[in-house]
């Protein structure tokens, strides 16, 4: 809750939060295997789909908010939706335009997959950090699915967002790292 607004749900060690563009974010429980993670995600998708079907809502996982945020929040101007949910989004609404032209679009119009990995030592974290960064371009090629915005090809949507929050970290691959 934030004030009188429901902004998330908890079940066991997982939670679901409502993001600024109406996206659902699953923060999964700590699990040991990829198979457990797959089962958790499938359960989440089944639950969300079941509730949505009762409300006549469908999901489309292939575009970057194809018709614009106004379709999600019809009474709002494009970026007013940010303050509907969480107070911190007011801060981000003011910050993002100072560091790039597409940061607010990224917040409002896209979804993501985030992976959190546990580690047992400094050597272990370095190995996992390097592997995950090296695999990012492949994961992006496999899962990025937002070629259109408002019915038009959008090119590279991530090219003008906050440089401190995006991009590769080449120093991680240096032998002196760690």
Q: Which domains does the chain have, with CATH numbers?
A: 8-173 (3.30.590.20)
pLDDT band at residue 82 under the 50/70/90 scheme? low
What's the whole-model pTM score? 0.71
pLDDT of residue 159: 75
Residue with tokens 């790292």: 177
d(CA 140, CA 124): 24
Res. 95: pLDDT tops 60: yes
Taking alpha carbons only, the member of 87, 135, 95 closest to residue 115 is: 135
Task: Determine what percent of the chain is predicted with pLDDT higher than 70.
Answer: 81
Best mean pLDDT range from 13-22, 26-35, 65-74 = 26-35
pLDDT of residue 165: 80
E-assigned strands of 117-157?
148-149, 152-153
Close Cβ partners of 102 (under 8 Å, ≥ 6 residues apart): 157, 158, 159, 160, 161
* Cα four-point dihedral sign 68, 113, 107, 133: negative
Among the residue ranges 51-55, 68-72, 116-120, 174-178, the one predicted with the least confidence is: 68-72
116 neighbors 132 (Cβ within 8 angstroms): no
């Amino acid at each position: 809750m934030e004030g009188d607004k429901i902004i998330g749900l908890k079940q066991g060690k997982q939670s679901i939060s409502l993001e600024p563009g109406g996206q659902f974010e699953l923060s999964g429980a700590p699990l040991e295997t990829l198979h457990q993670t797959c089962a958790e995600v499938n359960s989440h998708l089944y639950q969300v789909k079941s509730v949505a079907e009762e409300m006549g809502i469908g999901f489309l996982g292939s575009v970057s908010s194809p018709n614009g945020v106004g379709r999600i929040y019809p009474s709002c101007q494009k970026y007013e939706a940010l303050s509907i949910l969480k107070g911190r989004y007011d801060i981000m609404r003011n910050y993002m335009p100072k560091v790039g032209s597409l940061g607010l679009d990224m917040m409002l119009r896209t979804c993501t997959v985030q992976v959190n990995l546990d580690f047992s030592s400094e050597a272990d974290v370095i190995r996992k950090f390097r592997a995950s960064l090296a695999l990012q371009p492949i994961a992006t090629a496999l899962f990025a699915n937002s070629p259109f915005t408002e019915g038009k090809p959008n090119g590279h949507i991530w090219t003008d967002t906050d440089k401190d929050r995006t991009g590769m970290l080449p120093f991680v691959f240096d032998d002196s790292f760690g």
